[in-house]
Structure 1
Amino acid sequence: MRRSVRPAAVLLAAALLLGGCSSIGGTSAAAPIRQSVDTSEYVPSATNPDPSRKIPGITIKKFAGAQHVPSNVRVAYTHNPPIGGRHDQVWAACNGVVYETPVRVEHLVHSLEHGAVWIAYDPARLSAADVAALATLVEGKPYMVMSPYPEMASPVSLQSWGHQLAVDSVTDPRIDQFITALRVNPNTHPEPNASCDIPSRYFDQDDPPPYQPLPAQSEIDGATIVAEEG
């Protein structure tokens, strides 16, 4: 199984990072510089089981686990991108996968339940170099996943189970703090030791189910759309 699905924009941006800048359409685009961040105080411990609580701007909400829906059912999530609640019975591959296209969120929420951190970004608001900088945090890293996501309130949003952080810049140090505090943190997600790998016959990471806009709460009819929590 391949570990990542890299879009053309990310491949181009990787070249930009190596070259330092690029001229596209007559303008120069410098690669973002991500500073080294000391995240030692965000490592989970017995006395500090959820260090993410110290991160400014973080949203935290409790969700029950194991609320599965079949693939023909949509969930009306209250967070966008979603961070917990009902989800597809099949999880999205999440061991260092950088998806080329937006992915059906019900699968990604299941990945969060397994302890993954999901980085979502608005492709209309980030440069190719920005996307490449984010991809370095994900590609080949266990329990990390990244995908484009339209219609977000911020350029970048990080999700783990019951946790969310919106940031405006790929160089924001809170990104590293969030990942350190929450990736496979057994204190913050319902299924410790659950896998992020999945056979392609269940979920093809090279051709994942496509994203669809979240249905509204007003659309819930008890059949094909369900509430985030029952």
Structure 2
Amino acid sequence: MKAQQGETPGIDKHQRRQAAKEARRAERARQTRKDRIRRLASRSVLILLIAGLAAGLGWWIFRPKPGTYVPSQGNAHVASEPAAFRYASDPPTSGPHSGGTLPWGIHDRPVPKTLQVHNLEDGGVLVQYNCSECDDLASQLRDLVRRYPEKVILAPYPGMKTRIALTAWSYIDAFDQFDERRILRFIEGHRGIDHHARYGGFGR
């Protein structure tokens, strides 16, 4: 019997149906493998994305704060600086302080230590300088501090070992040359954090 056009000689209809069925089964298997690989790839990308976000968030939360850490000396309120007390840093970064605070902003006179510490406890940052003849330095510091209407104080500090000192609660950074980026980083890293005991503000 002569094979019809499009038919393979020697293969009956049953065999052709079986071959077509096997081809469809093989195609479905290939598609299933592709889908599985695609899903695994999507999951892997998602896992990597989540891991990256978690790592970034962890770094942001636990990143080192700018400046040098100085262990807290408490936050007792006193009428005046105790005669026998010695602050752990100069300028101070914690310890006994007066009940009052100083207005935020620029001051032309040195700030008493007991007032400094209370402003720090309230989340402030002090920018202090020791160079009575450095008009350019004082001008640069004034221009920088004017960007912050609250929680930053600028004042002279005669007798300091360096020309510039930045203080926050339990942190200090002292240096001699004006460095805008360094100062801004310190201010942004500490400004506005309340350190009263009732808020659990002690420690690093």
TM-score when normalising by structure 2: 0.60
Alignment CA distance shift 1:138-1:50 (3 Å)? farther
Match of 2:72 among 29, 45, 63: 63
Partner SS for 1:68: coil
Q: Which residue of 1 aligns with 2:91?
A: 81
Match of 1:129 among 107, 127, 136: 136
Q: What percentage of aligned pairs have identical amino acids?
A: 26
Bigger Rg, which one:
2
Give the Å deviation of 1:119.
0.4
- The amino acid across from 1:77 in the alignment is Y
TM-superposition CA deviations, 1:172-214 (whole Å, max 9, x none): 521111011111135xx33799xxxxxxxxxxxxxxxxxxxxx
**Which residue matches 1:185?**
193
Structure 1: gaps (5+ residues): 1-44, 194-230
2:145 is matched with which residue? 138
Aligned-residue Cα RMSD (Å) equals 2.6
2:128 aligns to what?
Answer: 120
Work out whether residues 127 and 164 of structure 2, in 8 Å CA contact, stay in contact via their aligned partners in 1. yes
Post-superposition shift, 1:135? Answer: 0.9
For the residues of structure 1 that align with 2:95 and 2:81, how far apart are their CA atoms?
17
Matches within 5 A, 1:31-50: 48-49=60-61
How many pairs does the alignment contain? Answer: 141
Mapped to 2, the partners of 1:50 and 1:84 lie a distance apart of 22
Judging changes above 3 Å, is the alpha-carbon distance between structure 1 residues 65 and 47 closer, same or farther for their aligned structure 2 residues? Answer: farther
Structure number with the bigger relative contact order (C-alpha 8 A, sep ≥ 6) is 1
Change (3 A) 1:49 1:159: farther
Question: 1:191 and 1:175, CA in 2 relative to 1: closer, same or farther beyond 3 A?
Answer: farther
CA–CA distance in structure 2, aligned partners of residues 120 and 76 of structure 1: 19
Distance 1:49 1:116 in 2: 20
Q: Which amino acid aligns with 1:78?
A: A
TM-score, normalised on structure 1?
Answer: 0.54
The CA distance in 1 between the partners of 2:178 and 2:198, in whole Å, is 28
